[in-house]
Amino acid sequence: QHGMTVAPIVANLGPLEALTLNPNPDEVEEAFTLPLAHLLREENQGYTHFRTASGYGYTLPVFLNGPHKVWGLTAIITELTLELLVPGCY
């Protein structure tokens, strides 16, 4: 609606012993990582159901039990990526 573009980045960062990221504080509050194994555990996967004034609205994925809950557009992109990377496991 406002001419904004979203460019999801998926990467294998290798060992993360000294990860230093400098995200734009106007766009990102905090950057963190989650291992693929964490995202594939069923106990870390869920869905959020939203309602509208007329009742049922829509359902979106959510990933739990990490340093932060992954939800919204980030969770949608993560779910689509998992479906492509590990189609039999997710």
Residue 54 forms part of a structural domain: yes
Residue 1 forms part of a structural domain: no
Residue 10 in tokens: 């998926």
CA–CA separation, 34 and 19 (whole Å): 13
pLDDT of residue 18: 65
List the domain range (segments joined by +) for residue 40. Answer: 34-85
Q: Which helix (H) or strand (E) holds 62?
A: strand 55-63
- Read off the pLDDT of residues 25-74 as tens digits, 9 standing for 90 and up: 888 788 888 888 999 999 999 999 888 888 888 899 999 999 999 998 88
Tell me which of 83 and 22 has the higher pLDDT.
83
pLDDT of residue 29: 81
pLDDT of residue 75: 94
Tell me which of 15 and 86 has the higher pLDDT.
86
Residue 15 forms part of a structural domain: no
Domain total for the chain?
A: 1
Residue 24 forms part of a structural domain: no
CA–CA separation, 38 and 86 (whole Å): 13
Q: Which residue has the tokens 């990102």?
A: 28
Residue 9 forms part of a structural domain: no
Select from 71, 72, 87, 74 the least CA-distant residue to 8.
74
